A and B are shown apart, each in its own frame.
Chain A
Amino acid sequence: MHDADGGSGGFEIVAREDFSDVTYLLEIRHPLMAKAAKPGQFVIVMSHEHGERIPLTIADFDRAKGTVTLVIQAVGKTTREMQQNCKVGSTLYALVGPMGLPSTTGSAKKVVCVGGGRGVAPIFPQARGFKESGAYVIGILGFRTKRLIFWEEKFAACCDELILCTDDGSAGIKGFVSDGIKLAIEKHRDIDEVIAIGPPVMMKACVEVTRPHAIKTFVSLNPIMVDGTGMCGGCRVRVGDQVKFACVDGPDFDGHKVDFDDLMMRLKRYAEEEKAAMERWSEACRMRNLVDPASLAPPATLAPPATLAPLASQLPEPSARR
């Protein structure tokens, strides 16, 4: 029939790619989900039975191969643990989705698709969706530095124009994606829509750029979630004068109406617990490696966590989306 099972066998990882020491891609077999997924939707993953449920935006789906792709940044305990444990052939304990309202990629004729940091991969299905519906697509991607750039060709294939932005100017323009949007607006006076995905600060900056021009701007919100089905209200966000649940009323909302300060405050809900979990886990890994050096022996695609980039450079929300 169909294999939305997972109860016993889990969901098989069929491919993995590491873009940097923090960003990695997992391709997971799930033919039904590959068939159902639409741009803008997300999944909830539990890597093991004791794990937490983390929401991740679907970065790609291949209906022919029957796979969905997630691009993950190792920012907290769960995502780092996954970085260490998820290998081709291993399984995820739980994977549910696609969740959330799909983005509307129908009517706009000229659109700007903006992805910054962990929002780069999730903007891809939208850019492709718009291209397929016949729109003129301007892609704007932001990275910290040239070394971290990925999927440039993938985006080039579905964007009519592609603007790369790096914090240090090592590739593309020197500046943030919001600077990229300014460039695009100067050049094109007829932009119908902007879609921005990335950290809340980035999305907030983007909507401030488009607001004076009254360009419709959608943002994909990433609050902390548990069930992802509208049952717990943990992902509630303020949009205009209303309270919305990002999991079932979103995740895309009118960026000009979103209360980003509320979102950013709510993302810090479990900051202390997340930090403690991260430290405890790092320490456990260090001890294990001391006791059993052989555990390092298998062809780990990754360095052990003790040598990973310092925590300070990480984003503080492991429970947050993507």
Chain B
Amino acid sequence: MTMAKKKTIRTIPQKRTPVREQDARERVGNFAEVNCGYSQAEALNEAERCLLCPDPVCVAGCPVNIDIPGFIQRIASKDFRDAYETITRTNLLPAVCGRVCPQETQCEGVCVVGETLEPVAIGRLERYLGDLAIAERWTSVPYIEPNGFRIGIVGSGPAGAACAADMAKAGCEVTVYEAFHQPGGVLRYGIPDFRLPNEVIDAEIGNLRKIGVKYECNTLVGRLFTIEQMIGELGFDAVFIGTGAGYPSMLGIPGDSLNGVLSANELLTRCNLMRAKEFPNYDTPLPLGRRVAVIGAGNTAMDAMRVCLRLGAEKVFCVYRRSRTECPAREEEVHHAEEEGIEFHWLTNPVEILADDKGIVRAMRCIQMTLGEPDESGRRRPVPVAGSEHELEVDQVVFAIGTNANPIIGQTSKLRLNKRGYIETDESLATSMAGVFAGGDIVTGAATVIEAMGAGRKAARSMKEYLGLRDYGGDASAEGRAGAGMLFGIDLRERNFARIRVA
């Protein structure tokens, strides 16, 4: 038997393993997934590229701190089940995150291999395991000892799911409330099938159900019962609010209430959750223009554009006031959109939407922009170029220019909000009300799925501390805290400390 040679940047496969994708010409005519995912051979090849750094920066780059070298090493040695267990210790939704995380700014962005070659395709490997687990019907159901605590989670999106998973694993009885008729939040209504198929969401939510998480749909918290009632008469020991940002920002230009003008949220909800793309088999309508302008260049805008193409628009334009460099969407999404024939109008700002005499959108008047001095976000501020107004012939306008705080929780509870209407929390994500925590877009404003999940996990840690539960999650420094009140490194105040019954 020979010892495995230590891997170096010279010995690993030099090229990042490409992933098969549906051809751009073909895929614009369907809602099937664009990215086909790795085969086993491809995953094994890519796993070889990880240097298994002893002090892995990728783990720190991940908002939920997945043991990345750990799972990749297990893929390389074909211990797939074990690799899956390694991921699910910190992330119960690998098939989702492998698809929608902006890896290039997180784990892959700091990957050491990436300093010389292309970084290890961590996201694709994660997805490979997530999909394999779904295909093989693996679920990682840990031994859970019920501790009698009841946790209420408001919102079934990524933040709520992550918090629910951690609290259920800690032994709590978890109920997740969702206002829509199906769980999943933005994963369900926002992200289209060609990026995240519904079956994947169903499978991952199924896993949460298997560890005991209960879902209650059709429940608008705040209005059906309040946060105060949850802590009070409904008897929850702690509550997590992860309701998302909601409330799309309006354009605020003449013509923005014309019938051919809608938010990306509305377009995506009609198409994804309500299945308007299958109208009339499903009742929700979504008539589409021939020439569609989508304003904004974030991930939501990219999704909206690509949905329009698939619904049969002849031409789809992206109108963004800054340049491609400042565009906030994931690189892969912009790339896919370009491949599919989206026409990008960078440094262009809409000033008015024009209608014909029947009130139907006929064009959008735009102005050319140029980049000036950096603004408070550090990005160069776009300024209009005098005399550059022009008309873009369109019959539908979709706006994806960000969101404001959803007002419902603020209207119905005494929780302290910040001046922009988002829920105010401290570092630990505790709100102004004892036992109530919040995280995700309703605290930070619009961000990514994985950041919301990171917030959900962080809130879960704080919640456990609040309830006096031992956090099996990260913190391995228990020995360091030994001393008064500690027994074998376990804090005696922890309420689910193993109880020994003496007969």
In the assembled complex, the Cα of A197 lies from the Cα of B265 at a distance in Å of 29
B181, B275, B283: the one within 8 Å of A277 (CB): B283
Interface residues of B (CB under 8 A from A): 177, 179-181, 189, 215-220, 223-225, 234, 244, 246-248, 250, 256-257, 259, 262-263, 265-266, 269-270, 274-275, 279-285, 287, 359, 406-408, 411
Contact of B406 among A78, A248, A277 (CB under 8 A): A248
Instruction: Let me know if A1 and B247 touch, CB within 8 A.
Output: no
With A36-B223, A243-B250 in contact, do A276 and B217 touch (Cβ < 8 Å)? Answer: no
Within the complex, which residue of B177, B215, B257, B279 is in contact with A243, where a contact is CB–CB below 8 Å? B257
Q: What is the chain A residue whose CB lies nearest that of B266?
A: A232
Known: A6-B218, A96-B220, A231-B246. A1 touches B274 (CB 8 A): no
Chain A proximity of B295: nearest CB distance (Å):
13
- Residues A233 and B181 in contact, CB atoms below 8 Å apart: no
Counting CB contacts under 8 A, is A89 at the interface? no
Partner of B247, one of A46, A94, A230, A274: A230
Given that A230-B406, A233-B248 are contacting pairs, would A4 and B216 also be in contact in the complex, using a CB cutoff of 8 Å? yes
Complex: how many Å from CA A283 to CA B24? 39
Give Cα A96 to B217, complex, Å.
9
CB-nearest residue of chain A to B181: A94
B223→A99 contact, CB < 8 A: yes
CA distance in complex: A234, B265 (Å): 9
A108 to chain B: closest CB distance in Å? 22
A-B contact list, 17 entries, CB within 8 Å:
A2-B234, A4-B224, A46-B181, A78-B283, A96-B180, A96-B219, A97-B220, A98-B224, A228-B220, A229-B408, A230-B247, A232-B248, A232-B262, A233-B262, A236-B257, A248-B408, A273-B279
Could you tell me if A52 and B246 are in contact, using CB atoms closer than 8 angstroms? no
Q: Quick one: which of B217, B259, B406 contacts A229, CB cutoff 8 A?
A: B406
Task: Chain B residues near A36: list those with CB within 8 A.
Answer: 223-225
Closest 5 CB pairs of A and B: A273-B285, A232-B266, A94-B181, A52-B283, A233-B263
A229–B246 CB distance below 8 A: yes
Give the total number of A-B pairs whose CB atoms are below 8 A apart: 141
Task: Write out the residue numbers on chain A whose beta carbons fall within 8 Å of the beta carbon of B279.
Answer: 273
Bound-complex Cα distance A33 to B221 (A): 11
* Cα(A249)–Cα(B189), bound, Å: 22
- Docked complex: A226-279 residues within 8 A CB-CB of B: 226-234, 236, 238, 243, 245, 248-249, 262, 265-266, 268-270, 272-274, 276-277
Q: Which residue of B lies closest to A226 (CB)?
A: B269
Chain B residue at minimum C-beta to C-beta distance from A77: B283
Q: Which residues of A contact B177 (CB under 8 A)?
A: 4
- Please name all residues of chain A whose beta carbon is closer than 8 Å to the beta carbon of B269 when the two chains form the complex: 226-227, 231-232
Which residues of A lie under 8 Å from residue B225 when comparing CB positions?
Answer: 2, 32, 36
Contact yes or no, A229 B220, CB < 8 A: yes
CA A4 to CA B216, docked complex, whole Å:
7
Q: Which residue on A lies nearest to B270, using beta carbons?
A: A226
- A273 CB to nearest B CB, Å: 4
Cα A238 to Cα B181 in complex, Å, equals 29
Looking at the complex, which one of A4, A233, A266 makes contact with B218 (CB distance below 8 Å)?
A: A4
**Within the assembled complex, what's the spacing in Å between the Cα atoms of A227 and B216?**
16
CB of A111 to closest CB in B, whole Å: 24
Chain B residues near A94 (CB-CB < 8 A): 181, 217-218
> A270 to B246, Cβ gap below 8 A?
no
A80 smallest CB distance to B (angstroms): 12
Q: Please report the C-alpha to C-alpha distance between residue A5 and residue B181 in the assembled complex, in whole angstroms.
A: 10
- Interface status of A53 (Cβ within 8 A of chain B): yes
A6–B262 Cα distance when bound, in Å, is 30
Whether A101 is near chain B, meaning CB under 8 Å from some CB there, is yes
State A238–B257 Cα separation when bound (angstroms): 9
Q: How far is the CA of A269 from the CA of B276 in the complex (A)?
A: 15
Minimum C-beta distance from B135 to chain A (A):
26
B359 proximity list for chain A (CB < 8 A): 265
User: Does A50 have its Cβ within 8 Å of any Cβ on chain B?
Assistant: yes
List 12 extra interface pairs beyond A2-B225, A229-B246, A277-B285, CB under 8 A.
A7-B216, A36-B225, A94-B217, A95-B218, A97-B224, A227-B180, A232-B263, A233-B247, A233-B250, A248-B247, A248-B408, A269-B259
Whether, in the assembled complex, A93 has its beta carbon less than 8 Å from a beta carbon of chain B, the answer is: yes
**CB-defined contacts of A230 to chain B, threshold 8 Å:** 246-247, 406-408
B179 cross-chain contacts in A, Cβ below 8 A? 96, 227-229
* CB-based nearest B residue for A32: B224
Check if A96 sits within 8 Å of B285, measured CB to CB.
no
Bound together, the chains give a CA A94 to CA B284 distance in angstroms of 15
> Would you call A134 an interface residue if the criterion is a C-beta within 8 Å of the partner chain's C-beta atoms?
no
Chain A residues whose C-beta falls within 8 Å of the C-beta of B285 in the assembled complex: 52, 270, 273-274, 277
Q: Which residues of chain A from 275 to 290 have a CB within 8 Å of any chain B CB? A: 276-277, 280
Complex alpha-carbon distance, A50 and B182, angstroms: 12
Q: Which of A14-42 contact B (CB under 8 A)?
A: 32-33, 36, 41
Chain B residues within 8 Å of A97, by CB? 220, 223-224
Chain A residues contacting B181 (CB-CB under 8 Å) are 6-7, 46, 93-94, 96
* A231 pairs with B265, CB closer than 8 A: yes
Tell me if A51 counts as interface (CB < 8 A to partner B): yes
A262 and B220 contact, Cβ closer than 8 Å, known pairs A78-B283, A270-B287: no
Given A227-B179, A265-B359, A266-B257, decide whether A50 and B265 contact each other with a Cβ distance below 8 A.
no
Instruction: Find chain B residues with CB under 8 A from A52 CB.
Output: 274, 282-285
Among A6, A50, A243, find the residue whose CB has the most chain B CB atoms closer than 10 A: A50
Are A96 and B248 in contact, CB atoms less than 8 angstroms apart? no
Give which listed residue, B219, B256, B262, contacts A4 with CB less than 8 A: B219
Which residue of chain A is the closest to B257 with respect to CB atoms? A262
**Complex contacts, A32 vs chain B, CB 8 Å:** 224-225
Question: Which of B250, B284, B408, B411 contacts A236 (CB under 8 A)?
Answer: B250
Minimal beta-carbon separation of A5 from chain B (angstroms): 6
> Which of chain A's residues has its CB closest to B275's CB?
A50
Q: Give chain B residues whose Cβ lies under 8 Å from the Cβ of A41.
A: 223
Residues of A within 8 A of B274 (CB): 52-53, 226
With both chains docked as a complex, state the minimum distance between the C-beta of A234 and any C-beta of chain B, in angstroms. 5
| Pair B283/A268 contact, Cβ less than 8 Å | no
Q: In the complex, what distance in Å separates the CA atom of A33 from the CA atom of B220?
A: 10
| B218 adjacent to A99 (CB under 8 Å) | no
User: A92 — nearest CB in chain B belongs to which residue?
Assistant: B218
CA distance A273 to B276 in the complex (A): 11
User: Which residues of chain A are near B219, meaning CB under 8 Å?
Assistant: 4, 96
Q: Which residues of B contact A226 (CB under 8 A)?
A: 266, 269-270, 274, 284
Q: What is the distance, in angstroms, from B170's C-beta to the closest C-beta of chain A?
A: 21
* Shortest Cβ distance from residue B496 to the other chain A in the assembled complex, whole angstroms: 23
Distance A245 CA – B266 CA, assembled complex (angstroms): 13
Please give me the residue from chain A that is nearest to B287 by CB atom. A273
